[in-house]
A and B are shown apart, each in its own frame.
Chain A
């Protein structure tokens, strides 16, 4: 009994460690209509040998450079006032990422005034959370470089349907 508990605790602790250190092993173990998932069931990237990226990584690149880069700099590199997400994502879990993007974050003190707004109500961001996460996870792991991915997988039918319903398009 004790042994089992210890084993369970170990698993939790290991999970906790992985949590603190970021997203864990990015290897894709599952493909759901062009959305790749790691062994924890979290969205991840898939880069083919010839450099072709999955649709989410590509879409995340585009959405990042529309909604995020005016603060966080080009390619997740940071700016004079917002952190480099290619580094931040090294130590941030999927759950934490969703929480911060949806609810925002404040870091205001006598020496700095950094405020991230809540994007939960903004469909241009909220409908593309996984895209942004997958792209930035790939950036944090140096799996994609600083430029626009040259080749990408096609947008799947399921993705298009989900996107249209989220964005309120007919």
Chain B
């Protein structure tokens, strides 16, 4: 009897394997096994939460380094490893090496992949040669290389199964983001907002690498895959040419709206969620209009790319507040009713909670009290400006005009939070958010476009908010009410993805290089250890041989490595490089390595 059952089960597995639906279920199931870490964010909902609880609030103080691994690459290490069964997959920045390590056999290197890429792609990457990680599906590891090549590697051998070219680096397109596997497709975005790229999300067939669909962030309806009647914004159909109408002339063709952040997926609603980045250029005067659909949350069908709903957070951006940060999906009670929620911490300093089925806006509140460019979002459904942020004239770089230095805008262009992903714990129903606490002066001016050359058009300088000495905070956020539950000061921006666990402990890294563990309820610091370099990677956890491990990549760099390496500009020169103005280079140096922690035997 038992044999027959197994045979039937195997048979049905094989039968379904051909269909996309199973690949989907397979990944969803794998993501629910807390021993593994099968996608960059841990699960489709992007919670970065693990049920593992061997390491908990009362014993985390005893954590020790179990083993380390040098990546052999110096520049900024974003993202984190994948763990599937006995294998860990570690990626690096350019040249985008991939290592498969055997966790059951002394962490030996099983295979290594290193692509050959034209180094001319290096300076086309706006902010260091970062890569945010790998994706797994259908027995393959997917890597999105700097030169935009999407490569599928046999997860067992590292052999190249297929490659696809996602963009043209000579025109400013680069690859930095991690892909997401949904059913029989692998979805990937693209970078190049500072080079005037018309950015997109593209789906490739996991088996063949053939392109299935491509949806641009701006352009005609067919290019953006909008149905004027069925695609909605704030509950209403978007209408014809919803994007084109909001650009002057052909500016949309070099309009940016890049898609270099994270993607999440709801298998029940069958929708993928992601955000688009800044409109190009940074000089708002050169692109009148709302510049849709830059700075927008998209909900799309993963099989066709068709957009179900959109919400533009920052119409006509004037500050480089890319909308690419992760969309975290949770199911919580709001106003006594169970809601399917999407929570997003935007660069613009607002924490948004929406209904992810309909795109209804429920909460939009500042998650850093210093945010000053807006007085808040109009939440009145009957208002003509419903859903729009009210811009404060003093901080409007468009109103003040070209060649005017706008002082004291908070947050700075790097946002109250950048790509470093937050975590959500269903135990506490709180979000754990790594944040930047930095303001700026911003002066836009006219620039001309040359293909493949930077297309910026603004000068800016950054510094901590007046009177403050910390450049970062690590906060706990209630997404239902839009309130900060607790907030820990950090000397530097927190540029590391957080991890929440069933042990009631939350982990994150700091730019000085500390891996920190705090109490999920109170934020009390329970453990810290200084890794070899500053951390801009994301913390992960897994179980191997009955033991829970916590892993993080260190290797300072990224945008944080530009602005902060030398210390921020002090607008009141003469006070000296102390506190909020301290140079990161006095604390840490380059070098990629993975540090893995566990409790002592």
The interface residues of chain B lying within 8 Å CB-to-CB of A65 are 459-461
| Minimum CB–CB distance for B452 against chain A, Å | 8
Q: How far, in whole Å, are A104 and B452 apart by their CA atoms in the complex?
A: 14
Per-residue B-contact encoding for A58-75, CB less than 8 Å = 1, 0 else = 000111111101110111
Query: CA–CA, A89 to B331, complex, Å?
Result: 57
- Which of chain A's residues have a CB closer than 8 A to the CB of B94? 113
Answer whether A146 and B573 are a contact pair too, CB < 8 Å, given A73-B562, A79-B562.
yes
- Contact of A80 with B569 in the complex, beta carbons under 8 Å: no
The answer to whether B123 touches A69, judged by C-beta atoms less than 8 angstroms apart, is no
Interface string of A79-101 (1 = CB under 8 A from B): 11100100000000000000000
Q: Write the A28-61 contact mask toward B (1 if CB under 8 angstroms, else 0).
A: 0000000000000000000000000000000001
Complex Cα distance, B93 from A114, in Å, reads 13
Does A119 contact B453, Cβ atoms closer than 8 Å? Answer: yes
Most buried by A among B76, B122, B457, B458: B122
Residues of A within 8 A of B557 (CB): 80-81
The answer to whether the Cβ of B565 comes within 8 Å of any Cβ in the partner chain is yes
Are B405 and A74 interface neighbours, CB within 8 A? no
B315 interfacial contact with A, CB 8 Å:
no
* Main SS class of interface, B: loop
Contact A80–B459 (Cβ < 8 Å): no
Given A65-B461, A66-B456, A81-B561, A147:B566 Cβ within 8 A: no
Contact B461 A147 (CB under 8 A): yes
Contact status B454-A67, CB under 8 Å? yes
B454 touches A146 (CB 8 A): no
Minimum CB–CB distance for A66 against chain B, Å: 5
Which residues in B have their C-beta under 8 angstroms from that of A15? Answer: none
Q: Is A151 an interface residue (CB 8 A)?
A: no
Taking CB as reference atom, which chain B residue is nearest A64? B459
Contact A62 B445, CB 8 Å, known A80-B565, A122-B454: yes
Contact A80 B461, beta carbon cutoff 8 Å: no
Measured between beta carbons, the chain B residues less than 8 angstroms from A125 are 453
Q: Return B585 CB to nearest CB of chain A, in Å.
A: 8
Q: Judging by beta carbons under 8 Å apart, are A116 and B571 in contact?
A: no
In the complex, identify which listed stretch (B11-19, B26-34, B124-132) lies at the interface while the others stay far away. Answer: B124-132
Q: Which of B95, B126, B447: most chain A Cβ within 10 A?
A: B447
Say whether A113 contacts B459, CB under 8 Å: no
Q: Which of chain A's residues have a CB closer than 8 A to the CB of B460?
A: 65
Q: Considering the chains assembled together, what is the distance between the CA atoms of A73 and B566 in angstroms? A: 7
Question: Contact at A115–B122, with CB atoms within 8 Å?
Answer: yes
B interface, size bucket: 35 or more
Residues of A within 8 A of B128 (CB): 79-81
Bound Cα distance A162, B201 (Å): 42
Is B426 part of the binding interface, using a Cβ–Cβ cutoff of 8 Å?
no
| Contact B124–A75 (Cβ < 8 Å) | no
- In the complex, residue of chain A having the shortest beta-carbon distance to the beta carbon of B194: A70
Whether B362 sits at the interface, judged by CB under 8 Å, is: no
The distance from the CB of A89 to the nearest CB of chain B, in whole angstroms, is: 15
Does B208 interact with chain A (Cβ within 8 Å)? no
- Taking a contact as CB atoms closer than 8 A, the residue among B75, B441, B445 that contacts A81 in the complex is B75
A70 to B282, CA, bound (A): 13
Which of B446, B459, B567: most chain A Cβ within 10 A? B459
Task: Decide if B75 touches A80 in the complex (CB within 8 Å).
Answer: yes
**In the bound complex, CA of A114 to CA of B129 (Å):** 10
Which one of A70, A73, A117, A119 lies within 8 Å of B565 (CB-CB)?
A73
Which of A74, A84, A116 lies in contact with B123, CB distance below 8 A? A116
B562 touches A113 (CB 8 A): no
Residue pair B119, A106 in contact (C-beta under 8 Å): yes
Known A-B contacts A77-B565, A81-B557, A146-B570; the reply to A66 vs B453 at CB < 8 A is: no
Q: Is A111 an interface residue (CB 8 A)?
A: yes
Q: Using a CB-CB cutoff of 8 Å, which residues 104-140 of chain B contact chain A?
A: 119-120, 122-124, 126-129
Output the nearest chain A residue to B583 by Cβ-Cβ distance.
A77
Q: Are A80 and B450 in contact (CB under 8 A)?
A: no
Nearest CB to that of A62 among chain B residues?
B459
A122 and B124 within 8 A (CB) = no
Q: CA A75 – CA B448 in complex, angstroms?
A: 23
A74 touches B450 (CB 8 A): no
Q: Which residues of B sit under 8 angstroms from A145, Cβ to Cβ?
A: 573
Partner of B453 from A108, A112, A122 at Cβ < 8 Å: A122
Chain B residues in 8 Å Cβ range of A77? 565-567
The complex places the Cα of A124 from the Cα of B448 at a distance, in Å, of 6
Are the C-beta atoms of B124 and A117 separated by less than 8 Å?
yes
CB-defined contacts of A73 to chain B, threshold 8 Å = 562-563, 565-566
Q: Is A25 part of the binding interface, using a Cβ–Cβ cutoff of 8 Å?
A: no
Q: State whether the Cβ of A167 lies closer than 8 Å to any Cβ in chain B.
A: yes
B window 544-601: CB within 8 A of A: 556-557, 561-563, 565-571, 573, 590
Binary interface profile of B, 387-416, with partner A (CB < 8 Å = 1, else 0)? Answer: 000000000000000000100000000000
**Does B313 touch A at the CB level, under 8 Å?**
no
Asked whether any CB of chain A lies closer than 8 Å to the CB of B419, the reply is no
Q: What is the CA–CA distance of A115 and B169 in the complex, to the nearest angstrom?
A: 14
Provide the residues of chain B in CB contact with A64, threshold 8 Å. 459
A32 to chain B, nearest CB (A): 23
Do residues A71 and B74 form an inter-chain contact, with CB atoms below 8 A?
no
A167, B194: Cα distance in complex, Å: 19
Contact A117 B120 (CB under 8 A): yes
Interchain CB contact (< 8 A) of B443 among A62, A116, A146, A168: A62
CB of A121 within 8 A of chain B?
yes
Q: Are B566 and A78 in contact (CB under 8 A)?
A: yes
CA distance in complex: A77, B169 (Å): 28
Of the residues A66, A78, A84, A113, contact of B457 by C-beta under 8 Å: A66
- Evaluate contact between B453 and A74: CB separation under 8 angstroms: no
CA distance A70 to B457 in the complex (A): 13
CA–CA, A125 and B457, complex, Å: 11
Q: Which residue of A lies closest to B558 (CB)?
A: A80
Are A66 and B120 in contact, CB atoms less than 8 angstroms apart? Answer: no
Which residue in A79, A112, A115, A121 is a CB contact (below 8 Å) of B450? A121
Q: Which residue of A lies closest to B460 (CB)?
A: A65
> With A78-B565, A80-B561, A112-B74 given, is the CB distance from A71 to B123 under 8 Å?
yes
Given contacts A65-B460, A70-B194, whether A80 and B453 have CB atoms under 8 Å apart is: no
Q: In the complex, which of the residues A63, A66, A113 contacts B129, with contact meaning CB atoms closer than 8 Å?
A: A113
Return 26 A-B CB contacts under 8 Å, by A number: A62-B445, A66-B445, A66-B458, A69-B562, A74-B461, A74-B462, A75-B569, A78-B565, A78-B566, A80-B76, A80-B590, A81-B557, A81-B561, A108-B119, A111-B74, A113-B94, A113-B119, A115-B123, A116-B123, A119-B453, A121-B453, A122-B453, A123-B448, A146-B570, A146-B573, A148-B405
* A residues apposed to B, CB below 8 Å: 61-67, 69-71, 73-75, 77-81, 84, 104, 106, 108, 111-117, 119, 121-125, 145-148, 167-169
In the A-B complex, the 10 residue pairs with the smallest Cβ-Cβ separation, listed nearest first, are: A77-B566, A80-B561, A65-B459, A117-B123, A122-B453, A115-B122, A79-B562, A62-B459, A80-B557, A124-B447
B: which residues have CB within 8 A of A?
74-76, 94-95, 119-120, 122-124, 126-129, 194, 405, 441, 443, 445-448, 450, 453-462, 556-557, 561-563, 565-571, 573, 590
